[in-house]
Amino acid sequence: MSQVIIASQLDEDYNDVIRERLASIHPQAQVIGVPAGVPSDLPPQANILLLRPINVRGYTAPDTPPPGWPYGAQWVHLVSSGIDFYPQWLFNGPPVSTSRGSAADNLAEFALATIFAASKHLPDIWVKDAQWHFTALRPLKGTTLGLLGFGAIGEALAHKALALGINVVALRQRAAPIAVEGVETARDIHDLFARADHLVLAAPLTEATRHIVNRDVLGSAKPGLHLINIARGGLLDQAALLEALDNGQIGLASLDVTEPEPLPDGHPLYTHPRVRLSPHTSAISTNSKQEIADTFLANLERYVGGSTLANRVDR
């Protein structure tokens, strides 16, 4: 193929990692920084486009592509796992792939951290004076973790939870079997919610899954359920969640994602005593630059060699 020339919307420190890694495998390759947002006026020589999410924190992409799209791009790689921020026209041109799975361990570890924090009453048990009061801490062994969605994140989380003696029950949309020994399959979403002590939302956001966790589903929950959302805020009906928190059906909600993001000032989720809210940070780690480079460069080798791209999107 022709020389590898990558138009990248990533920050320069991310681009520098990719340049450094490319130097040993494709020394003639170039990485050209371009603005984030809707790709436009790309360098005519660029044949690969590396995109950041273009519909986050209030930004909405246009319904029609910019004039000249797709320019000279022959392959588009998205550094995100989810594709719900992107407009349909992005998928109607050159092949598109994602970084699905690159942050699975980060997300799984974050979900486990919320479970540990809830069960061990962290940080409430820290003491700052001599007035010590002992708190009975809930064990994790023998509890049940529910997983709504069983892709790379669900699989990573299942392995870690099973190693801790946690029972795991999962529900996925696809008919494919759950190929992790020890993971049970729920009959349906109501069965999943009824059995779980902690339940992690790890499904993609689509038209079919928007508000899949609604008032009816929350009403099926095991009383006191700890609900954890590390996927997309749109999976969850937030008004119904607040009702379920107030009536005690849901004991705690640990939310790394909301709809919209960020929530407006004064939103009740900020101050509800049974909500733990974080700013969509569970996938980000001190190794993110290398993780993104790993996924992209592995796919670059497939692209250069004429092989099928991993995590290709057909939408």
Active site residues: 232, 261, 280
Indicate the residue type of 230. Answer: I
**3-state percent breakdown (helix, strand, coil) of the chain, nearest 5:** 30, 15, 55
Q: DSSP states of 38-80 as a string? A: S--S--TT--EEEE--SS-TT----SSPPTTTTTT-SEEEESS
**Residue position matching structure tokens 């954890």:** 228
* Gap between the Cα atoms of 171 and 161, Å rounded: 16
CB 181 within 8 A of CB 235: no
Nearest C-alpha neighbor of 103 from the set 286, 277, 226:
286
* Burial degree of 243 (CB within 10 A; 0-12, 13-18, 19+): middle
Nearest C-alpha neighbor of 289 from the set 102, 57, 33, 70:
102
